[in-house]
């Protein structure tokens, strides 16, 4: 077996042997499915009392995946823990002693984590979509997976969560402290959009390029949190991926230049 294959196998063994991996992924999946179902149920219950404006702006696909917005926190925490926990325990030194090629280790961590996250979140997103559409169908609002933009929204949500995980893994490798990296992710996901919302509407261009806003364009389909024009779905996801690549690149540089 090649070194790369051995390292991938090692990282797979690590990630599946830690109990927190299962609990965190379960939380992300349960939140995606459960919260989305609750939102759809509430919408159906309140539908007869909604204004015409609320009904016009309704997106059945993104509504049935609302839980993915909260699930991102679980994925972010897991992404940080994948690498920061090894620094906390000192196991990273053992890893680098066994595999001196540090960049290979980082690439293997990113590949394994991204694959696991993508599989779990894709399954959860499809389940959430079909449950949500079944509920919305009570008011004739449900759509099929073949409807325009439906498949893009479902797959895009799982891709967004996977890229988010890579961003958090990069920050975890860069900061190396679990609390610090998680705090940074909370700032990126929740604080920055709030601060951006305080800016004048003439500065919407700033908001649309924020990491979370750019990434969620694949889910929202072209509107920002306050109703402005967002990046197109795939362009937004591409911008979000660049943020993740930059974080992983910075982590790679510090991994080579700093002691473990």
- State the chain's mean pLDDT as an integer: 89
Closest CA to 87 of 230, 257, 255: 255
For residues 93-116, give the mean pLDDT.
92
Q: Which residue did the predictor score with more confidence, 98 or 200?
A: 98
Range with the poorest average pLDDT among 153-162, 173-182, 202-211, 239-248: 202-211
User: 118-138: per-residue pLDDT in tens?
Assistant: 999 999 999 999 999 999 998
pTM of structure: 0.91
DSSP assigned state of 223: B
SS3 category, 160: helix
Q: How far apart, in whole angstroms, are the C-alpha atoms of residue 157 and residue 218?
A: 7
pLDDT for the residue 222: 58
In this predicted structure, the answer to whether residue 111 has a pLDDT above a threshold of 60 is: yes
pLDDT tens-digit readout, 201-238: 656 677 888 898 899 888 887 555 445 567 888 999 99
3-class SS of residue 229:
strand
Percent of the chain whose predicted confidence (pLDDT) is above 70:
94
In whole angstroms, give the CA distance from residue 90 to residue 260.
Answer: 8
pLDDT greater than 80 at residue 8? yes
Specify the 3-state DSSP secondary structure of 200: coil
Give the residue among 246, 92, 67 at the shortest CA–CA distance from 169: 246
């Amino acid at each position: 077996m090649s070194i790369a294959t051995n390292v991938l196998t090692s990282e797979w063994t690590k990630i599946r042997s830690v109990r927190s991996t299962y609990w965190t992924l379960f939380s992300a999946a349960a939140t995606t499915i459960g919260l989305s179902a609750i939102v759809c149920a509430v919408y159906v219950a309140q539908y007869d009392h909604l204004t015409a404006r609320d009904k016009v702006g309704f997106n059945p696909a993104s509504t049935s995946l609302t839980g993915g917005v909260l699930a991102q926190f679980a994925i972010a925490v897991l992404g940080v823990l994948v690498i920061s926990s090894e620094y906390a325990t000192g196991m990273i030194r053992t890893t680098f002693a066994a595999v001196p090629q540090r960049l290979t280790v980082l690439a293997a961590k990113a590949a394994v984590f991204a694959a696991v996250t993508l599989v779990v979140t894709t399954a959860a997103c499809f389940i959430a979509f079909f449950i949500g559409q079944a509920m919305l169908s009570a008011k004739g609002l449900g759509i099929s997976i073949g409807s325009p933009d439906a498949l893009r929204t479902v797959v895009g949500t799982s891709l967004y969560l996977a890229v988010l995980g890579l961003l958090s893994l990069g920050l975890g490798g860069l900061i190396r402290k679990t609390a610090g990296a998680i705090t940074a992710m909370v700032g990126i996901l929740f604080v920055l959009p709030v601060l951006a919302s305080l800016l004048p509407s003439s500065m919407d261009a700033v908001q649309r390029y924020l990491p979370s806003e750019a990434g969620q364009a694949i889910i929202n389909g072209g509107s920002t949190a306050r109703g402005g024009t967002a990046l197109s779905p795939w362009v937004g996801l591409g911008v979000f991926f660049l943020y993740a690549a930059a974080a992983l690149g910075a982590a790679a540089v510090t991994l080579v230049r700093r002691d473990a």
